[in-house]
Structure 1
Amino acid sequence: MKLLHTSDWHLGQSFFTKSRKAEHQAFLAWLLEQVAAHDIDAVIVAGDIFDTGTPPSYAREMYNQFIVAISQLNCTLVVLGGNHDSVSTLNESKQLVACLNTHVVANVVPSAVSTEVTEDTVRSEPTHTQIIELKNRAGDTGAILCAIPFIRPRDVIQSRAGESGLEKRQALGEAIKQHYHQLYQAALAVREEKQLSVPIIATGHLTALGVSQSDSVRDIYIGSLDGFAADGFPPADYIALGHIHRPQMVAKSEHIRYSGSPIPLSFDELKTTKQVLLVEFDQAERVAITPLEVPRFQPMAVIKGDLSSIESQLKAFDANTHENTPQTKSVWLCIEVELQDYLADLPQRIQTLIEGLSVEQTLEQTLEQSLEQSLEQVVEQTVIPSFEVLQLRRTRNTAKQSLTQTARETLAELTPDDVFAKRLELESFEGEVEQLRLGRIKEQFQQILSEVENPEQGA
C-alpha cells in the first residue's frame, strides 16, 4: 500500500493581494504526476483545502478538476476539513465526489449532548462515517483509516458555567484524546472482524505540543488548548497531520508527521523545503516514509540590511539560482530595512531602487554578452529578474522603541497582533490581579481575531 500525505493547500489564498492560482495549478499538476509515477493507492489531504470559508470560484474549480483527474488514475482521495475550511462548502459536493472514489470528512458531527467528558458521553460522529477502508489499485483493502478532521470544541464537549481556563483545557484535551481512541478501537474491531493484515492510519488537523510554527499559522483552540500531547494519540501505524505549515515529526516519532503546506504561505516559510510524504506499507508493516520535494513555482526572497546592503543583494540576485522556478516570473520580495533614523519616504526610495536596478542590469548584461555573441543569442539568453516588493518593513530593535517613533510605522508593516500590542503598551497592568486581567484581554482579542479570519469556525 502506497499513500501520499499532504495538507494545507489553502486554495484561493490572496498573498499581499497576489493570487496563488498559478502556483496551485502547477502544484496539483505536479501532484498528479507523482501519483502516476509512484503508483500511489491513496492521497490523504489533512485539512485546509481552501484558505477561507468562501473560496473564489476558480479555487473550487481547481478542487473539482483535481478530483476528476485523480479518479482517472485509479487512486483514492481522502479530504479532511481544516479550521480554514467551510463545512458546508466541502459537504455540498460530498455525495457527488463519492462517485469518483473521493471520501470527504468535513467535520465531526455531534451525536449527543453532554455536560461531562466520559468515555460514554463524548460527542462524536458515528464511527461508520469516519472509519474508511482504503483500497489499493487491485481493489483490495490496503489500510483502515480513522478519518479525523479539525475537531471543533463544540462538537466534542459542552462548556459548563464556572469552569476555569485550566479545566476547559483539560476537558477539551481529554475529549479529543477519547475521540481518537474510540475511532482507533473501532478500526481494530474492523480489522479483527475481517481478519485483515493491514495498517491502521489516523489523521488530524491540530497543533501538537512542541512543533515549530510559521507566521501564517493561527491558533485554533484560542484560550482552550495550547497543543495536543503526542502521547494522546492512539498507537496507529501512521498519523497524518495538518495545520502546521513546516514539515516535521512530532515528539521525535517517525510515524507521527506533519507534511506541511506545498507552497510558502508566508515569507518566513522560505527557509523550509516544501514536500509531500510518500508512506509505504508491506501488509501491516510500515517499510518507508519518503519526502518528495515540491518544486518552487514562484520565485520569492527575503532581503535584509541597510539600504546600501539591500542594493548590493538585489544586484547580485540571480533568478536562475532558484532551482525549479520559472525564469519569466517576477521575484516577490520581502524587504526588511535596518534604519537608525525614521525615513518618511522609505517606500519611494525602495521603489526607485528596484526600478533603477531593472534598467541597469538589463544594460550591463546586454553589453557584456554582445561582445561575444550575436544579438539574437543575447536576446534569447538574457534573463533579467524583475522584482515586486510585496512586504516592506523596518527591522524592530530589541530595545523598546518610543511611541513617537513606532507611531510612524505604517499599517502595512504591522500585523493585527502588533497593533493590539502597541495599544496595550499605553495601559498599566501592575500586580497579580491586573496581570490576570491582561491575560483575559489578550485571550478575548485572539478569539475575536480568529472569528474574523475564520468565520466558519466561529459560526
Structure 2
Amino acid sequence: MRILHTSDWHLGQNFMGRSRATEHKAFLRWLANEVTTRQIDAIVVAGDIFDTATPPSYAREIYNQFIVELQSSQCQLIILAGNHDAAAVLNESKNLLQCLNTQVIASSSSKLNEQLLVLHNRKQQPAALLCAVPFLRARDMLQSQAGQSAGDKQRSLQQAIAAHYQQLFALAQQYNTEHKLELPIVMTGHLTTLGVSRSESVRDIYIGTLEAFPADAFPPADYIALGHIHQSQRINANTDIRYSGSPIALSFDEARQQKQAWLIEFAVDGKTVSSLPIPCFQPLISIKTTLDTITTQVQQALSDITAEQILWLELVIAETDAYLTDLQQRVETQLQDLPVELLRLRRQRTNLGNGFADASYTSLAELTPQQVWQARLATEQLTEQQQQQLTALHQQILAKMEHAE
C-alpha cells in the first residue's frame, strides 16, 4: 500500500499581486504523473485545498480537472478541510466526487464512523485504515461555559481534541478486531503541534484558546499526516508525526526550502517513509543587500534558474542606504535589464521602537497580528498574569474573525 501525504495547496492564492495558477497547474500535473509512475494507491491532502473560503472559479476548475485526470490511475483521493477552507464549498461537490474515487471530509462529525475510511490497494484489497480528521473548530468540539478561565478553556479544548483522536483510533482498532485484520492505522489533522518550525506565510491557528497541540496527546497510530505548517518536517515524538508542507513557496522565507511530499509504503515487513522532492515551478528569492551589491547578488541568484524563467524578487536594503528618498528608482534602474520582477522592496531598520527592535518591517501590512499585539503589550506595565489573560482574549477575537472569513 502506497500513500502520498501532501497538504496546503492554497489553490487560488495571489502572491504580491501575482497569480499562482500556472504553478498550481504544473504541480498537479507533476503529482498526477508521480501517481502513475510510482503506482500510488491513495493521496491524502491534509487541509487548505483552497487559499480562501470563497475560491475563484479558476481555482475550482484546477481542483476539478486534477480529480478528472486522476481517474485513469485508480488512485483514491482523500480531501480534508483546513482552516482556509469553507466546509460549504468542499461539500457542494462531495457526493459527485464520491463517484470519482474521491472522498471529502469537510468537518468533524458526531457519527465517528463517517471519519473512518478504508483505503484499498491496486488489487482492491483493504490495505490501511484512515482516521480522517479535518481542521477542528472550537464550536464543533465544545460548548462555551460561563465562568471558565482562559486556562480552563484551553485545557477543556485540548482534552476534547485528544478525546476525538482517541475515540477514532479505538474505532479503527475495533474495525480490525471485528474483521480479523491487522491493517495499519493512519490519522490526519490540520493544526499546529508543539515543536514545529513555522514560516511567515503560516497564519497562526487558535482553536478557541488552544495555540498548539501536544504531540504526546496523539494516539499511537502507524502514521499521522498533518497540514497547516508549510515547512516539511517530522515531529520529535514516539509516534511518526509529519507535516508535508506546502508544494510551492508561499512566502519569501520559504524560497530556499526544498518542497516535498511524503511517500508512505506499508508492506509485509513493515513501513517505510521517503521524501518525494517537488520541482520549483516559479523561482523566488529574498536578498539582503546594499545598493552597491544588488546587481552582483541578483545575477548570482539568476545563475540557478533556466533561461525561460523570471525570478520573483524581494530586496531588503541595508540601513546604510535605507534613508535614500529615491531608493525605489535607483533599485529599478539596476534591475531593468535583468529577468526579474521586483515584488517587494524593504528598508532594513534596526531601531524602530515600540517593541520592534530587530525588525526590517516598513509598514503595518508586513506585520502579523501577533507581532502588533506583542508590541502593544510591551508599552504597558502589566503583570505576567494580566498579559496572559489579555493575550487569551486577543486570540479568541482573532479566532472569531478567522471563522467569519
Q: Does 1:214 align with 2:169?
A: no
Q: Does 1:79 align with 2:79?
A: yes
Structure 2 residue aligned with 1:70:
70
Q: In the aligned structure 2, how far is the partner of 1:36 from the partner of 1:94?
A: 24
Q: In the aligned structure 2, how far is the partner of 1:178 from the partner of 1:409?
A: 44
Structure 1 residue aligned with 2:341:
388
- Asked whether the 8 Å contact 1:241–1:257 carries over to 2, the reply is yes
Structure 1 residue aligned with 2:319:
339
The partner residue of 1:242 within 206, 211, 227 is: 227
Structure 2 residue aligned with 1:353:
334
Q: CA deviation at 1:157?
A: 1.0
Q: In the aligned structure 1, how far is the partner of 2:149 from the partner of 2:366?
A: 36
Q: In the aligned structure 2, how far is the partner of 1:223 from the partner of 1:246?
A: 24
Summarize the Cα distance change of 1:151–1:171 in structure 2 as closer, same or farther, 3 Å threshold. same
Cα RMSD over matched residues? 2.4
Q: CA deviation at 1:108?
A: 0.8
TM-score, normalised by the number of residues in structure 2:
0.92
Structure 1 residue aligned with 2:88:
88
- Asked whether the 8 Å contact 1:44–1:78 carries over to 2, the reply is yes
Summarize the Cα distance change of 1:302–1:43 in structure 2 as closer, same or farther, 3 Å threshold. same
Q: In the aligned structure 2, how far is the partner of 1:352 from the partner of 1:68?
A: 47
Q: CA deviation at 1:439?
A: 4.7
Q: Does 1:40 align with 2:40?
A: yes
Q: Which amino acid aligns with 2:203?
A: R
Q: In the aligned structure 2, how far is the partner of 1:183 from the partner of 1:416?
A: 34
- Asked whether the 8 Å contact 1:392–1:413 carries over to 2, the reply is no
Structure 2 residue aligned with 1:430:
381
Structure 2 residue aligned with 1:59:
59
Summarize the Cα distance change of 1:252–1:417 in structure 2 as closer, same or farther, 3 Å threshold. closer
Q: In the aligned structure 1, how far is the partner of 2:314 from the partner of 2:28?
A: 26
The partner residue of 2:250 within 249, 253, 265 is: 265
Q: CA deviation at 1:245?
A: 0.6
Q: Which amino acid aligns with 1:312?
A: T
Structure 2 residue aligned with 1:151:
136
With 416-425 and 342-351 compared, the bigger mean Cα shift is at: 416-425
The partner residue of 2:211 within 216, 219, 226 is: 226
Q: CA deviation at 1:327?
A: 3.2
Deviations 1:339-360 (A, max 9, x none): 23522322222222211xx1xx
Structure 1 residue aligned with 2:404:
458
With 231-240 and 305-314 compared, the bigger mean Cα shift is at: 305-314
Structure 1 residue aligned with 2:147:
162
Q: CA deviation at 1:256?
A: 1.1
Summarize the Cα distance change of 1:241–1:412 in structure 2 as closer, same or farther, 3 Å threshold. closer
Q: Which amino acid aligns with 1:84?
A: H
- Asked whether the 8 Å contact 2:200–2:251 carries over to 1, the reply is yes
TM-score, normalised by the number of residues in structure 1:
0.82
Q: In the aligned structure 2, how far is the partner of 1:451 from the partner of 1:105?
A: 22
The partner residue of 1:293 within 273, 277, 300 is: 277
Q: The residue matched to 1:163 in structure 2 has which SS? A: coil
With 413-422 and 5-14 compared, the bigger mean Cα shift is at: 413-422
The partner residue of 1:198 within 148, 161, 183 is: 183
Q: Which amino acid aligns with 1:429?
A: E
Summarize the Cα distance change of 1:155–1:451 in structure 2 as closer, same or farther, 3 Å threshold. closer
Q: Which amino acid aligns with 1:274?
A: K
Q: The residue matched to 1:72 in structure 2 has which SS? A: helix
- Asked whether the 8 Å contact 1:278–1:292 carries over to 2, the reply is yes
Q: The residue matched to 2:250 in structure 1 has which SS? A: coil
Q: The residue matched to 1:183 in structure 2 has which SS? A: helix
Q: The residue matched to 2:127 in structure 1 has which SS? A: strand
Q: Could you say which structure has the larger radius of gyration?
A: 1
Q: The residue matched to 1:54 in structure 2 has which SS? A: coil
Q: The residue matched to 2:313 in structure 1 has which SS? A: strand
Q: CA deviation at 1:254?
A: 6.7
Summarize the Cα distance change of 1:135–1:206 in structure 2 as closer, same or farther, 3 Å threshold. same
1:270-289 equivalence runs, <5 A: 270-283=255-268, 286-289=270-273
Q: CA deviation at 1:257?
A: 0.7
Q: CA deviation at 1:308?
A: 1.1
- Asked whether the 8 Å contact 1:222–1:443 carries over to 2, the reply is no
Q: Which amino acid aligns with 2:328?
A: P
Q: In the aligned structure 1, how far is the partner of 2:354 from the partner of 2:397?
A: 28
1:137-148 equivalence runs, <5 A: 137-148=122-133
Listed as ranges, the gaps of 5+ residues in structure 2 are none
- Asked whether the 8 Å contact 1:237–1:286 carries over to 2, the reply is no
Q: CA deviation at 1:223?
A: 6.2
Q: In the aligned structure 2, how far is the partner of 1:420 from the partner of 1:152?
A: 23
Deviations 1:420-452 (A, max 9, x none): 666666xx41142xx655555555555555555
Q: The residue matched to 1:317 in structure 2 has which SS? A: helix
